[in-house]
Chains A and B, each alone.
Chain A
């Protein structure tokens, strides 16, 4: 199969996957117990006013009509209007997504750089005390609940030493004209450090362990002996030849992790008072704000699916032995 055919076939599969995800989300939320209007109506409203609210959200329509309308709108990336904020879902997502991305990407970049470097070193120095200590640390970081680590960090460095802020993305009482105006400030970086570090500590273990295993496999191959026979330095063998070849599995792992990163980390966002998409997604589900819940989950699913697709394409580019059968 040619590369073009592969791409076309995968794009068709993507379309079917999006439809399936959208359908499952639509019906899943409506199968959940609870009345979505319970959070919107007020005890002060008359029964007529309550009915008016229900009708304004289209919830009085039969389910199949709601479903058809949802599909029609989804084709144009219109996920409707939030039951709670009356904003288009796109706006809600754009309000919270950048906050999440800047936190998650910061953590992600730090975690993957550290994870890859430490993975290379632990693979290279396997059996050493350094390897054992690093692996145990990575496994511990991966096993500890992030909210617990977050609370400890807040307690120690926030309440105790007073070197990190207790919550939010900036000092309270300050406003900024735009997201970009905010994130290029020292105040923002000060607020970013703790949640990003906690997340990086957690995420670091995954690339580290994958890279270590991959390095061990690569180091057992003949070309490493050839490199040594050619008189290359150990550092050159480690980073130029072994590490490069060991990187391939990291790509898939990174693509999936990056996809999840879009969904944010609900617990870290809650502990550090970070107004991100993860917290908003959970709130939307808990408050039965169907349009926002559907929209955010669709964005999350789409990101993961598309990044996987890109990872598949990159595989072929980075390793010519990979075919598109």
Chain B
């Protein structure tokens, strides 16, 4: 790391209120515990009267991924732990491989601080319900932070049952205010969707809410340039499966299935349902637990007609077989019923009605051809070699481990502008960029923020488009740990998170610092009207001193004697 970079980082941290001496980014990018050396440990603050001090806050473990797994997040965690040390917390950074890390945080709850990159689907409350609901705190249930707040629970319950969209907006705004006041999760960075592409071959990239630039919306609006007729992308690792019911919801799978299979309704780039590009030409909520859809004439890729029977079959089949990847949606499906040749009704369970049914279920459940799936007993275990859907792209070939080829489905009601799309598996980043520059690839579906992006984004033929996404980095303290159950400590910790430095120094200035658990990508569901937390170590220290904590002569944080 050059002196210039160290100096830049110094100025950022000073701006963020870091007052103690700094170590270079090279060191923070390593694996030391933030409380391990004298330079890091303890706040630079006047000691409290020793008679007033009770026990020191415990040593906290910040679990980190290996540098090779996710370099920016690794560096950010070290930087954050360093800053937490400066407000008097005794920090240890433990570097773990991904599987262990996930297990420790998400399953065993054996951690103190974590930094996760969470992708919300199209409705934030269902996700927040999983990770924040008070009844989900047992191991494996999702609320790994151990956060309990009956007020938040009540708001989430009301939201999920509320059929009226405007009322839901009010409820989710209240929920954001509650959560940002309590801070069970600290939104560190709002990660954007990125479209990186060769502008000599393709243009007009538009993102939609759930899938960003890899959405159906994008594909039908793309405009090929210079006579190019192939959309050429890559992915760094092999696809696992062509089974739409047997994948693990990773983007590399959903980005393909979303264009191979139609869903009942589709969103436009504003997150609104657009019946022009949906299988359903009309829909209505018949009552609190029933949705009715009118379906257009359409066919599957193999030429068989797509009927309302296929739609009813898809919903019933996925629900009855308890397909894991659609387990959340299955909770809200009681039965699908054919009304007539063009109408189908989806009934929700009487005791579990869902307000935003279209958003959470209608846009998610793939429509399967009954004639292909009816005889498959364990749908999630089936090895599908040639998927047949009805989406705008149809399967062409899958050279496993090497390349996936899709081609335009000419009979689709909203066809794409290109004839073919392939994804080549290229693990080596420098090769990807060389290919992007010379046109052997013309887009990067991965949207990775890294040094090669920073080095190449000013090239004439390379365009980089960034839009708010439904994903964010959040630092989540384990509220089962002493001290971290106090909102004042969490708020001070959030003050100490050097969000601007992480954006500018680690993420090349591409994303924005986070300030809300529901990002602005959610449009009207998002609100700016939440408690804002200024960055700064001094602000954090002052908050802790005001909040009933004191410092010993080493600058370590203590509870005060009651």
Q: Which residues of B in the span 495-550 have a Cβ within 8 Å of any Cβ on A?
A: none
A119 vs chain B, min Cβ distance (A): 33
Residues A86 and B232 in contact, CB atoms below 8 Å apart:
no
Number of A-B contacts (CB under 8 A): 158
Q: Which residues of A in the span 252-274 have a Cβ within 8 Å of any Cβ on B?
A: 270-273
Contact string, B315-344, partner A, CB cutoff 8 A, digits 1/0? Answer: 000000010110110010000000000000
Q: Is A11 an interface residue (CB 8 A)?
A: no
A159 to B433, CA, bound (A): 10
Q: Is B414 an interface residue (CB 8 A)?
A: no
Q: Which residues of A in the span 165-202 have a Cβ within 8 Å of any Cβ on B?
A: 166-169, 172-173, 175-176
Residues A34 and B249 in contact, CB atoms below 8 Å apart:
no
Report chain B residues within 8 Å CB of A288.
99
Which of B81-89, B168-176, B233-241, B484-492 is the interface stretch?
A: B233-241
Which residue among A42, A48, A169 has the maximum number of chain B CB atoms within 10 Å of its CB?
Answer: A42
**How extensive is the interface on chain A, given as a class?**
35 or more
Report chain A residues within 8 Å CB of B402.
99, 168-169, 273, 275
Residues B241 and A84 in contact, CB atoms below 8 Å apart:
yes
Given contacts A33-B100, A42-B325, A52-B322, A173 and B382 within 8 Å (CB-CB): no
Residues A275 and B400 in contact, CB atoms below 8 Å apart:
yes
Residues B99 and A33 in contact, CB atoms below 8 Å apart:
yes
Q: Which residue of A lies closest to B401 (CB)?
A: A275
B459 vs chain A, min Cβ distance (A): 14
Q: Chain B's interface: helix, strand, loop or mixed, by majority?
A: mixed
A288 to B241, CA, bound (A): 17
Report chain B residues within 8 Å CB of A84.
240-241, 248
Q: Which residue of B lies closest to A49 (CB)?
A: B327
Report chain A residues within 8 Å CB of B140.
47, 50-51
Contact string, A49-72, partner B, CB cutoff 8 A, digits 1/0? Answer: 111110010000000000000000
Report chain A residues within 8 Å CB of B97.
33-34, 286
Report chain A residues within 8 Å CB of B200.
none
Residues B401 and A173 in contact, CB atoms below 8 Å apart:
no
Q: Is B431 an interface residue (CB 8 A)?
A: yes
Residues A42 and B249 in contact, CB atoms below 8 Å apart:
yes
Report chain A residues within 8 Å CB of B440.
166, 172
Which of B154-162, B255-263, B418-426, B444-452 is the interface stretch?
A: B418-426
Given contacts A45-B324, A167-B428, A175-B396, A35 and B238 within 8 Å (CB-CB): no
Q: Is B271 an interface residue (CB 8 A)?
A: no
Report chain B residues within 8 Å CB of A49.
322, 324-325, 327
A82 to B248, CA, bound (A): 13
Contact string, A127-170, partner B, CB cutoff 8 A, digits 1/0? Answer: 00000000000000000000000010011001100000011110
Q: Which residue of A lies closest to B382 (CB)?
A: A86
A86 contact from B99, B100, B381, B401, Cβ within 8 A: B381
**How extensive is the interface on chain B, given as a class?**
35 or more
B161 vs chain A, min Cβ distance (A): 18
Q: Is B246 an interface residue (CB 8 A)?
A: yes
Report chain B residues within 8 Å CB of A17.
none
A95 to B240, CA, bound (A): 13
Residues A173 and B121 in contact, CB atoms below 8 Å apart:
no
Q: Is A96 an interface residue (CB 8 A)?
A: yes
Report chain A residues within 8 Å CB of B331.
46
Residues B435 and A166 in contact, CB atoms below 8 Å apart:
yes
Q: Is B142 an interface residue (CB 8 A)?
A: yes
A198 vs chain B, min Cβ distance (A): 13
Residues B103 and A173 in contact, CB atoms below 8 Å apart:
no
Q: Is B399 an interface residue (CB 8 A)?
A: yes
Which residue among B402, B435, B438 has the maximum number of chain A CB atoms within 10 Å of its CB?
Answer: B402
A104 to B397, CA, bound (A): 26
Q: Which residue of B lies closest to A158 (CB)?
A: B434
Given contacts A35-B103, A95-B401, A275-B402, A44 and B424 within 8 Å (CB-CB): no
Report chain A residues within 8 Å CB of B399.
175-176, 275
Residues A87 and B248 in contact, CB atoms below 8 Å apart:
no
Report chain B residues within 8 Å CB of A87.
383
Residues A38 and B241 in contact, CB atoms below 8 Å apart:
no
Q: Is A23 an interface residue (CB 8 A)?
A: no
B107 contact from A33, A35, A275, Cβ within 8 A: A35
Q: Which residue of A lies closest to B247 (CB)?
A: A42
Q: Which residue of A lies closest to B399 (CB)?
A: A175
Report chain A residues within 8 Å CB of B103.
34-35, 38
B121 vs chain A, min Cβ distance (A): 7
A85 to B399, CA, bound (A): 14
Residues B322 and A44 in contact, CB atoms below 8 Å apart:
no
Q: Is B483 an interface residue (CB 8 A)?
A: no
Report chain B residues within 8 Å CB of A151.
428, 430
A290 vs chain B, min Cβ distance (A): 11
Q: Which residue of A lies closest to B384 (CB)?
A: A86
Q: Which residue of B lies closest to A173 (CB)?
A: B422
B328 contact from A46, A154, A173, Cβ within 8 A: A46
Interface residues in chain A, defined as those with a beta carbon under 8 Å from any beta carbon in chain B: 33-36, 38-53, 56, 81-82, 84-87, 91, 95-96, 99, 151, 154-155, 158-159, 166-169, 172-173, 175-176, 270-273, 275, 279-280, 283, 286-288
The 9 closest A-B pairs by CB, nearest first: A34-B99, A49-B327, A275-B401, A42-B249, A175-B397, A38-B102, A49-B324, A35-B103, A275-B402
Please, could you name 5 A-B residue pairs with CB atoms under 8 Å apart, sorted by A?
A: A43-B119, A46-B331, A86-B383, A172-B422, A270-B428
